[in-house]
């Protein structure tokens, strides 16, 4: 199965007075790319949240390599690095497509909870989500 990278142009309001994208937006883009990836793997965020499953962020980080400016298009390649039924982690490579440069490298880790942020055993309660993650983390996507 081919996984498509996530891509869009920088929004004006994402820039700061340094004339580059403010670094905090990369963290938001990781979320956009993550949800785009999971959607392609058959895991619809809006749908699983309707079913009462939340996926909070345990950690997020980004290294900034080359700036993105207004008018630039970015592309994010995202992959699941680990999954153990309780937690999973992803890695991200953010490219400046206009400059054809690597703009940033990101990582995030997550767990599964109910709406009260109490941990959930998805193998038992959401077997379809468990299987999708299993399959995704086996097959090196991207």
> Where does this chain bind a copy of itself (CB under 8 A)?
11-13, 15-20, 22-25, 27-28, 31-32, 35, 45-47, 49, 54, 56-64, 67, 69-71, 117
Q: How far is the CB of 33 from a copy of itself (least distance, A)?
A: 11
Q: Of 109 and 141, which has the nearer Cβ to a copy of itself? A: 109
SS3 3: coil
Q: How far is the CB of 138 from a copy of itself (least distance, A)?
A: 26
Q: How far is the CB of 9 from a copy of itself (least distance, A)?
A: 9
Distance CA 128, CA 108 (A): 22
Supply 109's token pair: 């880790």
Q: Of 24 and 139, which has the nearer Cβ to a copy of itself? A: 24
Distance of CA 97 to the CA centre of its chain: 18
Distance CA 1, CA 130 (A): 18
Q: Is 16 assigned a catalytic role?
A: yes
Tally helices (H) and strands (E) across the chain.
4, 5
Active site members? 16
């Amino acid at each position: 199965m081919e996984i498509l990278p996530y891509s869009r142009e920088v929004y004006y309001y994402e820039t700061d007075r340094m004339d580059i994208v403010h670094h905090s937006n990369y963290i938001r883009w990781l979320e956009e790319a993550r949800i785009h990836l999971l959607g392609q793997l058959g895991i619809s965020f809006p749908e699983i949240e309707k079913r009462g499953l939340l996926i909070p962020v345990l950690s997020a980080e980004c290294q900034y390599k080359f700036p993105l400016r207004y008018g630039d298009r970015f592309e994010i390649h995202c992959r699941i690095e680990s999954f153990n039924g309780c937690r999973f982690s992803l890695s991200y490579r953010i490219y400046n497509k206009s400059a054809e440069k690597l703009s940033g490298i990101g990582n995030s880790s997550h767990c599964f909870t109910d709406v009260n942020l109490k941990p959930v055993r998805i193998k038992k309660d959401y077997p379809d989500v468990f299987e999708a993650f299993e399959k995704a983390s086996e097959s090196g996507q991207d």
